[in-house]
Structure 1
Amino acid sequence: MNLIDSHAHIYSEKFDGDRADAMARAQQEGVSRIYMPNIDHTSIDAMLEAEVKYPQHCIPMMGLHPTSVNKDFERELYLVEEWLEKRKFAAVGECGIDLYWDKTFLPQQQEALRVQVALAKKHQLPIVLHTRDSFDETYEIIAAEQDGTLEGVFHCFSGSQEEAEKVKELGFLMGIGGVATFRNGGLDKVLPHVSLDSLVLETDCPYLAPAPHRGKRNEPFFLPLVAKRISELMQKPVEEVAEKTAANALNLFKL
């Protein structure tokens, strides 16, 4: 199978001791590409170093994660803008709104998202959205900004069927990862009613490892477990899930 991990922090310090082994395991399982979302200024060097070491497999994005948005977020956004002017990236991301950890900087998160949407339009790039406990707030901004040119992924989608329909109507994809394998993840009620055309696979490693590895460090090697669970829920061959979601990722991330 050819699998694409559309969202993985393989550059994370959690892999500093065995990144080469993790990459080898992923390739043995057929994971041909890994798209890497940026967090903030502290993650750029490690992300680009992973790209240099694995240029055929690790592809970077550039953005500001909502949990890194604070009163000084403008400085971070200037850096994002500078990098997008300097070289090519696969997408703007990851960005969005996170109301799980802290609601203090919601206005700043909303402004940071709007700025990054504008950057995505300017550079004709897809946008990768983080929406933890904030689907409605994120959707409101993206719907208002959608002019037919904006495309991207609602990363780590774990919402309702109604929310899945909203994502589809926007022309966006849903990133499906380990949550699909969780007993109470909720996606068992949603995925049977959506099309493979709307999905990409992701791990979000080192977070959200799929069952039976839940609670452990996640890695791209586990991506086939996500594909297998989707195939069970959608009653489609796992090879079809892998092929179609890989094609969706390649179509979205032109780089």
Structure 2
Amino acid sequence: MGLATLDFPQYHGGVAVASYEAPRVIELDFEVFGDTTAQTLTLLEDLFAVFQPQVTVEQPLVFTLPGQPERQVDCRPRLGDAPLVTPAIHRHGVASFQLVASDPAIYSSAERQAVVTPTVASGGLTYDVIYPKVYGAAGVGGTVNVPNAGQWETWPRFVITGPTSGTFTDPTIEYLTGGQALRFNAFGGIAISAGQELLIDSSPRHRSVTLDGASRIGRLSEDSEWFAFQPGINEVRLRGFGTFDGVSMTITARDAWI
């Protein structure tokens, strides 16, 4: 039995493997001043109530740097130092907290939104050769550009709204910039009726596909590939079958930095 050559470097250096960023750790230091020592202690207790350690629940920490719009990090308190209160004459307290963000990216607080309608097939072209030969139908419309003004990838959310009547079936979201697609045509596919919305969250940390609250992630085809928006312009197209009138897809994403 031989060893696979892929297990060894084929040239100088190492083997290129996936490399992931570590969680982001944030340190917060507070100074508290009260009119009395008792008030200072109360203010410190309020701070510790806000920054109680959390095991899994992460919340957005919103901040602003000089000359920049609001940004945020999704994080949770991990550790808290014991409060230090200086002598009563100073009425001064100090507290420190450590927060951890499982997702190290920094996001814009403001979300970008874009709306696109499905690509509608046109009639195609017919050429008279030895026999009438019809070439495949081209698509009309159905694409939209979504910018990511940051310098790190960001995971979008999609909401596909059903038609005014009838059903829109087997939707496909094509990421033309990267060549990936999400095709919902497995195990009977998906049919979106009037008044229904298909909600798709692509984030690896809380990925989901729901229709009227019921999971439909199992309808994703095997050749589908989840994608993140890269820095710059991201072109997306919506395809499907059935009724197109009234169908739209809303794309929501934030700019991202690392």
TM-score (norm 2): 0.24
- Largest Rg, 1 or 2: 2
More helix by share: 1
**TM-score by structure 1 length?**
0.24
Larger strand proportion of the pair: 2
